[in-house]
Amino acid sequence: MPNTSNNSPAFPSDNVDSHEIDKFSAIASRWWDPDGEFKPLHQINPLRLDYIERQCQGVFGKRLLDVGCGGGLVAEGLAKRGANVTGIDMAKAALQVAKLHALEQQVEVDYQLMAAETFAEQHAAQFDVVTCLEMLEHVPDPSSVIRACAKLLKPGGRLFLSTLNRTPKSWLLGIVAAEYVLRWVPTGTHDHHKFIRPAELLAMTDACQLRANDMTGMHYLPWRGFFFSSRNVDVNYIVSLEKPL
């Protein structure tokens, strides 16, 4: 059964945006509705899981941490593939949904209400894989989260980061189209100023002595759906990194 303990120390308030927490908490009950506000995440989740598993040469038996786990789509999906998964988030409502869903599905995931920085102080170098997907653009200081992720990794461990590029195209597709035209996600989900260019992201990971192994973009075509391709990273992109031995 999933761990239901919520005991945790105070989190670093200077790197938590309470507005962002409230925004996602308000719709947390619909996290596992494949046709609700999180429909795009449901559609891209199999792609993300396959990418992580492929880059890691399998996740079975590995200790994995999902930072900013939300309602548990990634954490539960990787647990079903045999990983020993912990998920952390600062949205209590989302974690409650994640725990309930894991219980219903009889999937083992250890969910904890804790910030990455606090968790890293207690669990340094304990994880084979750390994922932080679609979360960096929702915190005041993404570099702080990346430092925590790097600290949590064992030597030789893998880190996966995904976010949105700050380009005119990402504003058009990620905000105007996704939020206002297609209504894929709630209006106000994203702030274009918080999007992160790949060069900016890699500068943050370089500062943590992480080596980038792969970067690819997320694309969408009406007749094909979502897919990964390295042809460009103009909108959504994911990076696979490794901590040196």
Pairing of strands 225-229, 211-221: antiparallel
Q: What is the pLDDT of residue 190?
A: 72
Q: What is the pLDDT of residue 10?
A: 40
Q: What is the pLDDT of residue 105?
A: 96
- Map tokens 């593939």 to a residue: 81
- Are residues 72 and 97 in contact, defined by beta-carbon separation less than 8 angstroms? yes
What are the binding residues for S-adenosyl-L-methionine? Answer: 48, 68, 89, 133
Q: Does the domain at residues 18-243 carry the CATH identifier 3.40.50.150?
A: yes
Q: Element (H or E) spanning 132, and its range? A: strand 127-133
Q: Which segments of the chain have a pLDDT < 50?
A: 1-13
Element counts in the chain: helices (H) and strands (E): 8, 8
Expressed in percent and rounded to 5, the helix, strand and coil fractions of the chain are: 40, 25, 35
- Are residues 175 and 188 in contact, defined by beta-carbon separation less than 8 angstroms? no
User: Residue 169, exposed/middle/buried by CB under 10 A (0-12, 13-18, 19+)?
Assistant: exposed
What are the binding residues? Answer: 48, 68, 89, 133
Question: Would you state the structure tokens that stand for residue 61, as one six-digit string?
Answer: 């038996």
